[in-house]
């Protein structure tokens, strides 16, 4: 297994100010609202639905986050705001960024100014301007200024904006129970709220752990241990990594040559599990996931142990706990054999939650089931009925549409492809759909199930009378370690059904293939010259392409001549390079409606 790198030497001030929660969580019941969208003119507009799938917050945002502590972050046209549980914008959509919403306060940026707001949207008055403001913890905010020498300095203010400790430290972590660890003149110290030094710490590096009560430290920069909030040593710095700290459990790493293995201690340093695992995850409530073997594409496969270290599952899960990586509402989201489902704390499958083909996560609230598998969001009620699902319908015109279909045949094969409907000329519609399905399922081996997994998604763009389908494939062949990736573009005339290829944009009898291959070879020469390849010739007459903003884009497939490039490679060329051989009056340019300086009418 590759060595896991734990970076302690360089800690960015943004992370220091915004990522450490050192306050008891405010108990706010999250509202029963869930982000969802509608399609309007083929654009996703996000709002919030209730447990019956009805929109209670008007869908008008470009993005909408889940509620946390009774508030939700939304974005429109690159600016951010915050909604309360009734859908009211307590912070209007006018901020360039809004930091973590925690402990009753949030930090918002507007132009060059940073502000603090409470959960009612009321701004706290500040006596001066700061470069950044951290989370509220133990009655104080961490703040950042730049001094006259251009150095960043940290200090602390209270909720009235008064400076309690003037900015003078090169590092300053949040207070916890009237103690904070700071750094001044390359020396770490523990101080109290009166800026009185409580203790000097003779360590090279210190940073907060994932558990708010502890710090990871190092005396040399190479090995790591654990401190309590007062800077007292709990675990000696003899481990190659302190990976996670949750409740009173600590995941540690040890190196044997280039191989790093992981074990489990408690915060007192007592051994819980010997250091022999590929990986260990702390799931909360005393539960852990351990991996002793590698699965697909060198991914860890896990079994789950309860708080008494009793195994509740065999080693078969690829993803444990979803994005949070934790137990939620007494269930654990898991992926096994490319199916996503949930198990309870005894290892039994939760029957109320549907089993979904694909890789993702599921959660169960009081009255709703949330699924996010293969990038698609889905909501069920407790009877297993879908109350909302993503709408991938693309409207071409008043009659014609493109809907999303899925082709599945065997474990791991999951192909999402576009299907055209509503055409008056059914023969043209059927011809397009047949060719699309053939193109999306053509790869050798897909029907014979030679893949560990094969996933395909796409994007749609309309250009004049041409629909452009941008397909992206990700696949892993059996008995291989490395994933392959391909991208292809299909330019389809929706009136004639013709699929345009590269030769359709060039003049007859032109030497475009030779010229393009020469250009590509020159562009890639620096990348491939070190292994002795001087020229490649990947372009075909039926090559797919994209034209945009006076440029031609080609997407080269993962083929023998290109294996050194590790997957698809986008090649970009100025039309200026090819203007002598391109036919700007061709059927492609006419139907595409593409306006460039060569065919633009004066």
pLDDT means per 10 residues in the chain (602 residues)?
31 42 45 89 93 94 92 95 94 92 92 92 92 92 92 94 95 93 95 95 93 91 93 96 93 92 96 95 95 76 94 88 88 89 94 87 90 88 91 91 83 83 96 95 67 81 92 75 78 95 90 85 58 59 84 70 50 88 91 64 38
CA neighbor of 27 nearest in space, from 165, 89, 119? 119
Q: Decide: 571 and 520 in contact? Cβ < 8 Å.
A: yes
- What's the pTM? 0.75
pLDDT at 432: 97
pLDDT at 598: 58
Question: What's the angle, vertex CA 211, arms to CA 205 and CA 212, rounded to 5?
Answer: 80
Neighbour count for residue 546 (Cβ, 10 Å): 17
pLDDT at 9: 26
pLDDT at 523: 67
Neighbour count for residue 78 (Cβ, 10 Å): 8
pLDDT at 11: 34
- Give all strands (DSSP E) within 445-550, no chain letters: 451-463, 466-477, 484-493, 499-500, 545-548
CA 241 to chain centre: 24
Q: Decide: 124 and 116 in contact? Cβ < 8 Å.
A: yes
Residue 444 CB-half CA count within 13 A? 2
> What tens digit of pLDDT does each residue of 296-311 get?
666 788 999 999 999 9
Encode 295-352 in three state secondary structure.
CHHHCEEEEEECCCCCECCCCCECEECCCCCCCECCEEEEEECCEEEEEECCCCECCC
Residue 439 CB-half CA count within 13 A? 25
Instruction: Tell me the C-alpha distance between 507 and 512, whole Å.
Output: 9
pLDDT at 207: 94
Q: Which two tokens stand for residue 386?
A: 């879908």
> What tens digit of pLDDT does each residue of 333-375 get?
999 877 899 999 999 999 989 998 888 899 998 889 999 987 7
Identify how many contiguous H helices and E strands the chain contains and give both numbers. 4, 47
Instruction: Tell me the C-alpha distance between 158 and 239, whole Å.
Output: 38
Sequence-ordered list of residues with C-beta below 8 angstroms from that of 435, at least 6 positions apart, any chain:
499
């Amino acid at each position: 297994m590759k060595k896991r790198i734990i970076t302690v030497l360089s800690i960015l001030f943004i992370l220091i100010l915004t990522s450490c929660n050192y306050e008891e969580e405010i108990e706010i019941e999250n509202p029963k609202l869930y982000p969802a969208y509608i399609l309007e003119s083929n654009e996703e507009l996000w709002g919030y639905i209730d447990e019956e799938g009805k929109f209670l917050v008007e869908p008008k945002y470009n993005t909408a986050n889940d509620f946390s502590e009774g508030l939700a972050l939304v974005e429109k046209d690159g600016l951010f705001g915050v909604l309360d549980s009734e859908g009211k914008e307590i912070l209007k959509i006018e901020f360039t960024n809004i930091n973590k919403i925690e402990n009753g306060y949030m930090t918002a940026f507007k132009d060059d100014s940073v502000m603090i707001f409470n959960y009612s949207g009321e701004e706290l008055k500040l006596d001066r301007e700061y470069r950044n403001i951290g989370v509220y913890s133990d009655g104080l905010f961490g703040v950042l200024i730049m001094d006259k020498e251009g150095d960043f300095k940290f200090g602390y203010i209270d909720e009235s904006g008064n400076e309690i400790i003037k900015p003078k430290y090169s590092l300053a972590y949040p207070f916890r129970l009237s103690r904070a660890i700071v750094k001044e003149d390359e020396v770490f110290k523990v101080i109290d709220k009166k800026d009185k030094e409580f203790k000097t710490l003779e360590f090279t590096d210190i940073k907060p752990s994932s558990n708010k009560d502890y710090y990871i430290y190092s005396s040399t920069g190479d090995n790591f241990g654990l401190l309590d909030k007062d800077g007292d040593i709990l675990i000696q710095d003899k481990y190659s990594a302190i990976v996670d700290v949750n409740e009173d459990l600590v995941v540690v790493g040890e190196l044997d040559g280039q191989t790093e293995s992981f074990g489990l201690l408690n915060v007192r340093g007592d051994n819980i599990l010997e250091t022999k695992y590929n990986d260990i995850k702390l799931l909360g409530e005393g539960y852990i996931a351990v991996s002793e073997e590698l699965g697909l594409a060198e991914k860890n496969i896990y079994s789950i142990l309860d708080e008494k270290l009793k195994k509740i599952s065999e080693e078969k899960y690829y993803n444990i706990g979803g994005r949070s990586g934790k137990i939620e509402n007494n269930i654990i989201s898991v992926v096994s054999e490319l199916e996503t489902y949930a198990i309870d704390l005894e290892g039994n499958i939760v029957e109320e939650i549907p089993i979904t083909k694909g890789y993702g996560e599921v959660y169960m609230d009081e009255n709703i089931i949330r699924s996010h598998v293969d990038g698609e969001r889905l909501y069920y009620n407790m009877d297993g009925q879908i109350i909302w699902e993503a709408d991938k319908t693309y409207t071409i015109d008043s009659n014609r549409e493109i809907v999303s279909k899925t082709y599945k045949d065997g474990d791991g094969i999951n192909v999402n492809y576009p299907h055209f409907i509503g055409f008056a000329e059914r023969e043209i519609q059927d011809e397009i759909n047949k060719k699309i399905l053939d193109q999306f399922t053509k790869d050798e081996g897909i029907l014979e199930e030679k893949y560990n997994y094969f996933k395909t998604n796409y994007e749609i763009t309309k250009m004049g009378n041409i629909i452009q389908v941008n397909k992206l494939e990700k696949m892993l062949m059996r008995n291989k370690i490395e994933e392959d990736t391909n991208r292809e573009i299909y330019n389809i005339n929706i009136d004639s059904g013709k699929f345009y290829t590269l030769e359709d944009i060039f003049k007859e009898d032109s030497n475009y293939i030779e010229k393009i291959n020469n250009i590509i070879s020159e562009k890639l020469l620096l990348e491939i010259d070190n292994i002795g390849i001087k020229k490649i010739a990947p372009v075909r007459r039926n090559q797919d392409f994209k034209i945009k903003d006076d440029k031609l884009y080609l997407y080269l497939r993962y083929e023998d001549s290109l294996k050194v490039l590790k997957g698809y490679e986008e090649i970009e060329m100025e039309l200026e390079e090819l203007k002598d051989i391109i036919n700007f009056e061709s059927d492609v340019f006419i139907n595409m409606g593409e306006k460039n300086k060569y065919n633009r009418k004066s």
